[in-house]
Amino acid sequence: MQSDTTWLETSSAMLGNCWAMKGSQGEITVGLKQPIRATEFVVQHAPAAITVDGGKSAPRNFRIQGRLSDASASAGSGTNDSTVAAAAGSWLLLVEGEYLLKNVAADSTSLTPHMQPFAVGGAASFVDAVKFQVLDNHGGDSHTCLYHLRMYGNPQ
Protein backbone atom coordinates (compact mmCIF):
# COMPACT_ATOMS: atom_id res chain seq x y z
CA MET A 1 0.00 0.00 0.00
CA GLN A 2 1.16 3.51 -0.75
CA SER A 3 0.07 6.70 0.89
CA ASP A 4 1.86 9.37 -1.11
CA THR A 5 0.97 11.21 -4.29
CA THR A 6 3.37 9.19 -6.47
CA TRP A 7 0.62 6.53 -6.67
CA LEU A 8 -1.48 8.92 -8.70
CA GLU A 9 1.21 8.87 -11.40
CA THR A 10 1.60 5.10 -11.63
CA SER A 11 -0.39 2.64 -13.69
CA SER A 12 0.51 -0.36 -11.54
CA ALA A 13 -2.38 -2.66 -10.72
CA MET A 14 -0.40 -5.06 -8.53
CA LEU A 15 -2.32 -6.43 -5.58
CA GLY A 16 -1.76 -4.19 -2.57
CA ASN A 17 -0.53 -1.24 -4.67
CA CYS A 18 -3.51 0.97 -3.89
CA TRP A 19 -4.29 4.34 -2.42
CA ALA A 20 -4.95 3.34 1.19
CA MET A 21 -7.10 5.37 3.55
CA LYS A 22 -7.11 4.59 7.26
CA GLY A 23 -10.45 3.23 8.46
CA SER A 24 -13.66 2.76 6.49
CA GLN A 25 -13.94 6.37 5.28
CA GLY A 26 -11.66 8.83 3.58
CA GLU A 27 -11.14 11.09 0.62
CA ILE A 28 -8.70 11.80 -2.17
CA THR A 29 -8.54 15.13 -4.01
CA VAL A 30 -6.75 15.43 -7.34
CA GLY A 31 -6.02 18.66 -9.21
CA LEU A 32 -6.42 18.35 -12.98
CA LYS A 33 -3.89 19.60 -15.53
CA GLN A 34 -6.68 21.43 -17.39
CA PRO A 35 -10.42 21.89 -16.84
CA ILE A 36 -12.51 18.89 -17.95
CA ARG A 37 -16.25 18.49 -18.46
CA ALA A 38 -16.66 15.05 -16.87
CA THR A 39 -19.04 12.52 -18.43
CA GLU A 40 -18.15 9.30 -16.60
CA PHE A 41 -15.95 7.85 -13.86
CA VAL A 42 -14.75 4.27 -13.49
CA VAL A 43 -13.98 2.97 -9.99
CA GLN A 44 -11.73 -0.06 -9.69
CA HIS A 45 -10.70 -2.32 -6.84
CA ALA A 46 -8.90 -5.64 -7.13
CA PRO A 47 -11.26 -8.55 -7.84
CA ALA A 48 -12.63 -9.70 -4.48
CA ALA A 49 -11.77 -13.35 -5.20
CA ILE A 50 -8.02 -12.63 -5.26
CA THR A 51 -7.78 -10.25 -2.30
CA VAL A 52 -6.68 -11.32 1.17
CA ASP A 53 -9.77 -9.76 2.79
CA GLY A 54 -12.37 -10.85 0.21
CA GLY A 55 -12.91 -7.26 -0.91
CA LYS A 56 -13.76 -5.82 2.52
CA SER A 57 -11.34 -2.93 1.90
CA ALA A 58 -13.11 -1.91 -1.33
CA PRO A 59 -15.04 1.38 -1.28
CA ARG A 60 -18.79 0.85 -1.06
CA ASN A 61 -20.81 4.06 -0.93
CA PHE A 62 -19.00 7.06 -2.33
CA ARG A 63 -19.40 10.56 -3.67
CA ILE A 64 -17.41 12.30 -6.41
CA GLN A 65 -17.35 16.08 -6.51
CA GLY A 66 -15.76 18.46 -8.98
CA ARG A 67 -14.39 21.91 -8.20
CA LEU A 68 -15.80 24.45 -10.63
CA SER A 69 -13.16 26.04 -12.82
CA ASP A 70 -13.05 29.75 -13.64
CA ALA A 71 -14.46 28.94 -17.11
CA SER A 72 -17.57 27.24 -15.68
CA ALA A 73 -18.17 30.01 -13.18
CA SER A 74 -18.03 32.73 -15.82
CA ALA A 75 -20.31 30.70 -18.12
CA GLY A 76 -22.92 30.17 -15.40
CA SER A 77 -21.72 26.58 -14.71
CA GLY A 78 -23.26 25.26 -17.94
CA THR A 79 -26.83 25.23 -16.66
CA ASN A 80 -29.97 27.29 -17.17
CA ASP A 81 -30.98 26.98 -13.50
CA SER A 82 -30.40 30.38 -11.89
CA THR A 83 -30.50 28.84 -8.39
CA VAL A 84 -27.20 27.00 -8.96
CA ALA A 85 -24.26 28.73 -7.32
CA ALA A 86 -21.58 29.14 -9.94
CA ALA A 87 -18.64 30.55 -8.00
CA ALA A 88 -15.23 29.36 -9.14
CA GLY A 89 -13.77 27.06 -6.50
CA SER A 90 -17.13 25.77 -5.26
CA TRP A 91 -17.74 22.01 -5.29
CA LEU A 92 -20.39 20.39 -7.48
CA LEU A 93 -21.74 16.87 -6.94
CA LEU A 94 -20.92 14.77 -10.02
CA VAL A 95 -21.64 11.19 -8.88
CA GLU A 96 -23.13 9.48 -5.86
CA GLY A 97 -22.75 5.74 -6.17
CA GLU A 98 -22.22 2.30 -4.72
CA TYR A 99 -19.32 0.09 -5.76
CA LEU A 100 -20.57 -3.51 -5.70
CA LEU A 101 -18.51 -6.61 -5.05
CA LYS A 102 -19.16 -8.89 -8.02
CA ASN A 103 -17.50 -11.90 -9.54
CA VAL A 104 -17.18 -13.04 -13.14
CA ALA A 105 -19.21 -16.23 -12.62
CA ALA A 106 -22.16 -14.39 -11.06
CA ASP A 107 -22.06 -11.45 -13.48
CA SER A 108 -22.23 -12.79 -17.01
CA THR A 109 -22.58 -9.28 -18.47
CA SER A 110 -18.96 -8.29 -17.80
CA LEU A 111 -15.53 -9.89 -17.85
CA THR A 112 -14.27 -7.08 -15.60
CA PRO A 113 -16.90 -6.65 -12.87
CA HIS A 114 -14.28 -5.03 -10.58
CA MET A 115 -14.17 -2.04 -13.00
CA GLN A 116 -17.49 -0.22 -12.58
CA PRO A 117 -18.63 2.84 -14.57
CA PHE A 118 -20.69 5.68 -13.12
CA ALA A 119 -22.24 8.35 -15.36
CA VAL A 120 -22.05 11.98 -14.31
CA GLY A 121 -25.47 13.42 -13.53
CA GLY A 122 -26.68 16.99 -13.47
CA ALA A 123 -25.24 20.05 -15.15
CA ALA A 124 -22.24 19.66 -17.42
CA SER A 125 -19.59 21.96 -15.99
CA PHE A 126 -15.83 22.28 -16.37
CA VAL A 127 -13.99 21.22 -13.23
CA ASP A 128 -10.32 21.71 -12.35
CA ALA A 129 -10.15 19.24 -9.45
CA VAL A 130 -11.96 16.05 -8.40
CA LYS A 131 -12.67 14.84 -4.86
CA PHE A 132 -13.42 11.14 -4.31
CA GLN A 133 -15.09 10.65 -0.91
CA VAL A 134 -15.51 7.16 0.53
CA LEU A 135 -18.54 7.13 2.83
CA ASP A 136 -18.06 3.48 3.84
CA ASN A 137 -16.42 0.28 2.63
CA HIS A 138 -17.45 -3.39 2.50
CA GLY A 139 -16.62 -4.12 6.15
CA GLY A 140 -12.88 -3.51 6.46
CA ASP A 141 -12.05 -1.79 9.74
CA SER A 142 -8.36 -1.05 9.26
CA HIS A 143 -8.30 0.57 5.81
CA THR A 144 -10.02 1.26 2.51
CA CYS A 145 -8.19 0.74 -0.80
CA LEU A 146 -8.79 2.47 -4.11
CA TYR A 147 -6.85 0.93 -7.00
CA HIS A 148 -7.92 3.17 -9.86
CA LEU A 149 -10.24 6.08 -10.45
CA ARG A 150 -10.64 6.98 -14.12
CA MET A 151 -12.31 10.13 -15.35
CA TYR A 152 -13.72 10.51 -18.84
CA GLY A 153 -14.87 13.75 -20.38
CA ASN A 154 -14.05 16.62 -22.69
CA PRO A 155 -11.21 19.10 -22.12
CA GLN A 156 -11.83 22.80 -22.29
DSSP assignment of 33-69, as one string? EEEEEEEEEEEE---GGGSTTTTTTSB-EEEEEEEEP
Q: Report the distance separating Cα 116 and Cα 93, nearest Å.
A: 18
Q: Report the distance separating Cα 110 and Cα 116, nearest Å.
A: 10
Overall fold of domain 23-155: Jelly Rolls (2.60.120)
- What's residue 119's pLDDT? 95
pLDDT bracket for residue 82 (50, 70, 90): very low
pLDDT bracket for residue 50 (50, 70, 90): confident
Task: State mean pLDDT over 56-67.
Answer: 96
Task: State mean pLDDT over 47-65.
Answer: 92
For 141, counting Cβ atoms within 10 Å of its Cβ (0-12 exposed, 13-18 middle, 19+ buried), the class is: exposed
135-155 pLDDT, tens digit per residue, is: 999 999 999 999 999 999 999
Q: Which helix (H) or strand (E) holds 133?
A: strand 126-134
Q: Where are the domains positioned within the chain?
A: 23-155
pLDDT at 84 over 70: no
- What's residue 72's pLDDT? 67
pLDDT at 7 over 90: no
The model carries a pTM of: 0.80
Q: Report the distance separating Cα 14 and Cα 23, nearest Å.
A: 21
Alpha-carbon dihedral 148, 149, 155, 156, rounded to 10 degrees = -140
β-sheet bridge partners, residue 123: none
Mean pLDDT (the chain, rounded): 81
